[in-house]
Structure 1
């Protein structure tokens, strides 16, 4: 057991898995917030017009973390292959369910009477209602997120390896952005459709198409902008493992 934990490849996989799961779970919990980009940056609204929707550019807060999840997915894919990505994907999904389960338990705990009004001066008259609204999110949002996440991850790994078979060890940026382009097209639309069109809010299709499209464009722009980070991670892994061990892992990942 000690010898296994001394293996640098094992330590690397554990670290990547932990960071991936934390980011995936956190993205799900903060994704309930929709923020306005221009207002956040202190700009005037761009007054865009997309599918009949106008105003500022709106995104879910979870989009802040998903580009990091993409980098982690592609890095694990590169060195630990399909089995590695499938393992972390199902583990992250299980942990997300675990987290939401305890959030629902916490919501239904009887609140202390003094705690309910403790934030009145900060503009929150009912702390219990606020807690339930933020952490509850609703079953439609939770299941939509989980279904979209698993679909996106499984599609990502399949597209990644299909591109890898054509390019070999060359063009890491192409298989990373190519797999993200396909997987996130599915993810961005599935999660919002289940959560906000089929769910109790019943978004009109124009709003759904506008927000989903903007979220997808943002994810793709962020994925492209983070390509240097992908190569930095790759260089760091090669230094940590040694070039021979890193090359061995990549060969095994490609063949699996």
Structure 2
């Protein structure tokens, strides 16, 4: 039975795309705890863009490095497996992200071996157990905000993608792929910041973190969106390249059947 499933090209393709989709989303959540400077990484001076009267630079979570891959996977899956395919993977990914952080939580609670705590002192880490907990034990409301933003963004993306395709037909892949990403990521960027740093801390804030002002939320949202907007545009050729690979793999007839079936809700 397994051999027969793997011989079916559409099924095998869905498994491959799903693996990249889920893996990249999960890894992005884990590495997102690190905040990096885009300008310093590229060797440039801080941008200091004036937004709502204050200067801001491109200081973002490391998770943004992998979200472009999730964007591409979303649009490709949408193209060949439709709204149901993307929704299924989005719900599955949310469940797996929550499961992963629950496992991290219980792993952090385990009593460390005495040598584990001091094993990296010479490398500049005085307490490995504390470092382990800080890296994997992200604040609960940030995780919740990220999951909510991801799910809303995905649902908006798939809806927008199909609306654009209904108007343009099979032409203009760039418009439906890039257009849906730009709209969904604008919403995603705002939701994750609003929930994580304004709404949730004002309701439940065990860490005593300061509640962000709406102006700060909007300003950081603009910085994040400028980055995502730029990456989405730059990735347009990649979408065509992946699309071409899939067309050759499936064959024109099978690919056409799948794209037609994907448009049926």
Same fold (TM over 0.5): yes
Mapped partners of 2:257, 2:216: distance in 1: 48
Cα shift readout 1:56-79 (whole Å, capped 9, x = no counterpart): 321111111111100000000000
Mapped partners of 1:13, 1:91: distance in 2: 14
* Aligned residues of 2:58 and 2:224 also touching (Cα < 8 A): no
* Aligned residues of 1:107 and 1:131 also touching (Cα < 8 A): yes
Q: 2:227 aligns with which of 214, 218, 226?
A: 218
Mapped partners of 2:8, 2:118: distance in 1: 52
SS in 2 for 1:54: strand
Write the mapping of 1:98-247 to structure 2, written as runs, cut at 5 A: 98-197=99-198, 198-199=200-201, 200=205, 201=209, 202-247=211-256
- Cα RMSD of the aligned pairs, angstroms, is 1.4
* Aligned residues of 1:53 and 1:206 also touching (Cα < 8 A): no
Mapped partners of 1:53, 1:103: distance in 2: 37
Q: Which residue of 2 aligns with 1:9?
A: 10
| 2:42 paired with 1:27 | no
Normalising by structure 1, report the TM-score: 0.95
* Aligned residues of 1:53 and 1:207 also touching (Cα < 8 A): no
* Aligned residues of 2:56 and 2:220 also touching (Cα < 8 A): no
CA drift at 1:55: 5.2
Shifted more, 108-117 versus 192-201: the winner is 192-201
Change (3 A) 1:81 1:109: same
Mapped partners of 1:172, 1:24: distance in 2: 23
* Aligned residues of 1:52 and 1:206 also touching (Cα < 8 A): no
CA drift at 1:40: 1.4
Aligned pairs, how many?
A: 256
CA drift at 1:252: 0.5
SS in 2 for 1:255: coil
SS in 1 for 2:142: helix
Cα shift readout 1:130-164 (whole Å, capped 9, x = no counterpart): 11111111110110011111111111111110111
Change (3 A) 1:40 1:146: same
Cα shift readout 1:170-210 (whole Å, capped 9, x = no counterpart): 11110111111221111111111212223342233333222
SS in 2 for 1:49: strand
Following superposition, which runs of at least 4 residues in structure 1 exceed 6 angstroms of deviation? none
Mapped partners of 1:59, 1:98: distance in 2: 25
SS in 2 for 1:63: helix
Normalising by structure 2, report the TM-score: 0.92
Cα shift readout 1:101-155 (whole Å, capped 9, x = no counterpart): 1111111111111211222222222211111111111110110011111111111
Mapped partners of 2:102, 2:241: distance in 1: 37
Shifted more, 40-49 versus 159-168: the winner is 40-49
Q: Which residue of 2 aligns with 1:60?
A: 61
Structure 2, gaps ≥5 residues long = none
Structure 1, gaps ≥5 residues long = none
Q: Which residue of 2 aligns with 1:46?
A: 47
